[in-house]
Amino acid sequence: MPGDEVRARYLRDRVMTATPAQRVVMLYDRLGLDLTRASEADDSFAASQHLNHAMEVVAELRSSLDVTAGGPAENLASIYGYLLAELVGARGNEATTLPPLRRIVSSLRDAWAQAGEQMTAAQAAAPAAVGSWVG
């Protein structure tokens, strides 16, 4: 299917050219999509598949942390642990946990997006600031 190949290539190129912060935002976007799909699924099998994928995304986010650095990494590790535990519970048909999880994921996603934008702006301004004193 040519359309699928084009889409896959586009997604691969988008990921490969993204900054690390943009990649994290992409993971949060996918996590949010998984949670939405799980809550809207018509049957428990489909919901379970989306929840399983959501757990894989959270595990990926958690494994990327350097918890030896402490501070925010430790806090995020705790949040990811909570998300994983709640997702396991949601697989047991506790779908009422999904809306609060979506709010947490949305807040984290927005924070990462904002941080990424600030980093990009700072990097864009840095060369101008360095060269501005040269007469």
Domain coordinates of the chain in residue numbers?
20-102
CATH of 20-102, one of 3.60.10.10, 2.60.40.2550, 3.40.50.300, 1.20.120.340: 1.20.120.340
pTM: 0.81
Neighbour tally for 61: CB within 10 Å = 21
**pLDDT digits 0-9 by tens, 46-89:** 999 999 999 999 999 999 998 888 788 999 999 999 999 999 98
Distance of CA 42 to the CA centre of its chain: 25
Q: What amino acid occupies position 57?
A: V
Query: Smallest Cα–Cα separation from 109: which of 47, 23, 19, 17?
Result: 23
pLDDT class for 33, splitting at 50, 70, 90?
Answer: very high
Task: Count CA within 13 A, CB hemisphere, residue 120.
Answer: 11
Looking at residue 71, what is its pLDDT? 83
Q: What amino acid occupies position 77?
A: A
The answer to whether the beta carbons of residues 88 and 55 sit under 8 Å apart is yes
Residues of the chain with pLDDT > 70, as a percent, come to: 83
